[in-house]
Structure 1
Amino acid sequence: MAAVVLVHGLYHRPEHFAVLAERLRTAGTEVVVPELHRGSLPADTAAVQAVIDALPAPPIVLGHSYGGSVITGVRGAGHLVYLAAFVLDAGESAASLGGASQQLQDAIIPEPDGSTSLHPDRAIDTLYGDCPEPLAARAVGLLRPQAPGCGRGVPQHHAWTKTSSTYIVCAQDRAIDPDLQRRMASRCTDVREWQTGHSPFVGQPDLIVELLGELLATHNPPRRNERVTTTR
């Protein structure tokens, strides 16, 4: 069975995927959650690429929000999942497509070192407004400052043009306009729409477990060191 790579968004950490990752592992799936915050889109993409290259077979790679910009630039994925995420074409960046909603922009706090952080109360409403309060509070507590410029990064490769992909529109999202999500989703092989906010991995992880289980059941890539032989 293929592994799953989970790629978080801006301000987030791998720990935001902890419940989702544990449920997938309990079901027997290998899960890898790389740490971003490498300072730029190319550096973040390289970190995820290193994870993909170390796996024995092409994995299913899920990117959330800015994580979509990251997974757009990777090679060697078996299937891409964009969760309320940016599907960028040549010359595009998350910022150039519209980026953060006004509500999310209003939650951003400039820091003295040039980084930004999110106002906790506004972040709860914007990112986790449909999540149970204890889960939302924990998620906000995990948020970290973000280096500038990542949202203006432009991928040099566009994996979705050659790799099958699934887009999940989060119809109640307050961080990325659902209409923008629908426009980007038109670039993907398959589109689903959920009545959730921006972060279903916090409030409704079973939705993602079910989707990934469905994809894993039909995704059986050869190991990288296997050669396909033909008979004449």
Structure 2
Amino acid sequence: MAAVVLVHGLYHRPEHFALVAERLRTAGTEVVVPELHKGSLPADTAVVQAAIDALQEPPIVLGHSYGGSVITGVRGAGHLVYLAAFVPDVGESAAGLGGASPQLLDAINLEPDGSTSLHPDRVADTLYGDCPEPLAAWAVGLLRAQSPGCGRGVPERHSWKHTPSTYVVCAQDLAIDPVLQRKMASRCTDVREWETGHSPFVGQPDLIVELLQADTLRRRDEGVTTTR
């Protein structure tokens, strides 16, 4: 299987993908989970680009939520996977496309230094409402403050226009409206819809593992190649 790069969203950490990464690595897949929170969309994109460039072959690159804006700007991916994620076109940002739901906005706290954080009690159901309670509590405990402005960042390039892509609509999502997700999904090569909330990498990691393995097989069977 091709290497996989997993890109988290706002307020999240690489550790949120731990259950997915563990399963993929057990199956013999090389997995890279970059740490974002570099202060801007260009800086976050550069971190993911460096991870891609360090791999021997074009990887599958999965972006969750804001991570979709990040992976939109990279070069050299073999396949893009947008998981309840933003798919910006020219001049668009995550915030401009619709951004967070009212439920998620209600959970955002403004910190004295200008950063924002998520109120643990208010955000648990919005992000992890369909996850087992112990896993939801674990995921909430990992959330961190977020620098301002990342969601308003506009990608400099649009990789989904020339790279095979899969969009996963999370139909029970309370953080990003599934109606908006379906509109953005129309920009991708392939569309799936899951009856999950915003964070299946916490509650149903095997769904993501199976999807990534299927994408690898399809790329191999179709003879799809990507140049860097």
What are the within-5 Å matches in structure 2 for residues 141-156 of structure 1? 141-156=141-156
**Alpha-carbon distance in 2 for matches of 1:178, 1:109:** 24
Say whether the 8 Å CA contact 1:132–1:203 is kept in structure 2: yes
What are the within-5 Å matches in structure 2 for residues 1-232 of structure 1? 1-220=1-220
* SS of residue paired to 1:182: helix
Say whether the 8 Å CA contact 1:57–1:224 is kept in structure 2: no
Say whether the 8 Å CA contact 2:76–2:226 is kept in structure 1: no
* SS of residue paired to 2:148: coil
* TM-score (normalizing by structure 1): 0.95
**% identity of equivalent residues:** 81
Quote the offset at 1:219 in angstroms. Answer: 3.0
Cα RMSD of the aligned pairs, angstroms, is 1.3
Return 5+ residue gaps in structure 2 as ranges: none
Say whether the 8 Å CA contact 2:78–2:226 is kept in structure 1: no
**Alpha-carbon distance in 1 for matches of 2:126, 2:116:** 16
Which amino acid in the other structure matches residue 169 of structure 1?
V
The aligned counterpart of 1:229 is none
Larger C-alpha radius of gyration, 1 or 2?
A: 1
Give the number of aligned pairs: 225
Q: Structure 1 residues 103 and 60 mapped into 2: Cα distance closer, same or farther (>3 Å)?
A: same
* SS of residue paired to 2:94: coil
Return 5+ residue gaps in structure 1 as ranges: 226-232
Q: Structure 1 residues 70 and 223 mapped into 2: Cα distance closer, same or farther (>3 Å)?
A: closer
Say whether the 8 Å CA contact 1:124–1:140 is kept in structure 2: yes
**Alpha-carbon distance in 2 for matches of 1:63, 1:157:** 15
Quote the offset at 1:217 in angstroms. Answer: 1.9
**Alpha-carbon distance in 1 for matches of 2:57, 2:105:** 39
